[in-house]
Amino acid sequence: MPTPSSNNMDTWMTTYSIPESPESEVQMEVRLFVTQFSDGYSQRVAKGTNNLRRVYTFVTRLLDTTAADAMRDFFAYYSQGEQILKLTAPTDNTQRKYWIESWSEQLDGPIHRSFTATLIEDR
């Protein structure tokens, strides 16, 4: 498999006909500083100006050997902390920058593979 020449994950998936599973989801992570006071009250303040970020759980199922090799190569290459581009299709269909937090591969029979990856929005 060739080294990915583009950090655009959707282009890579289109090139190798890799379908995204409907199980993929985007969750919003809210980052706050919370200070608890002795009288039971608490104060919350946003952690920075961009305290909301997306956590994209990307899932693809039943890939043949060629598509599985391509997906594995993409994840392995961009797991070094580099930014990738991905459409957030389950929510708003906007291209955003992400980094790969983790990914896994599963054997689904003698020739099929499934992948799950956690992508964190990079702001």
CATH number at residue 51: 2.40.30
Q: How confident is the model at residue 49 (pLDDT cuts 50, 70, 90)?
A: confident
Place of tokens 């708003």: 92
Segment 43-53 mean pLDDT = 88
Residue 90: the pLDDT is 63
Residue 116: the pLDDT is 97
Paired residues of 43 in beta bridges: 35
Place of tokens 């799950």: 116
Domain presence at residue 27: yes
For the CA atoms of 25, 115, 76, 12, what is the dihedral angle to 10 degrees?
Answer: -70
Q: What is the largest CA-CA distance in the chain?
A: 61
Domain presence at residue 3: no
Domain presence at residue 101: yes
Share of the chain above pLDDT 90, in %: 68
Q: 3-state secondary structure string, 40-102?
A: CCEEEEECCCCCEEEEEEEEEEEECHHHHHHHHHHHHHHCCCCCEEEECCCCCCCEEEEEEEE
> Which SS3 state, helix, strand or coil, does residue 56 take?
strand
Closest of 41, 1, 23 to residue 89, by C-alpha:
23
Domain presence at residue 4: no
Say yes or no to pLDDT of 80 above 70: yes
Say yes or no to pLDDT of 89 above 80: no
More confident residue, 1 or 48: 48
pTM for this entry: 0.84
Averaged confidence pLDDT in the chain: 90
Number of domains in the chain: 1
Domain presence at residue 2: no
Q: Which domain holds residue 44?
A: 9-121
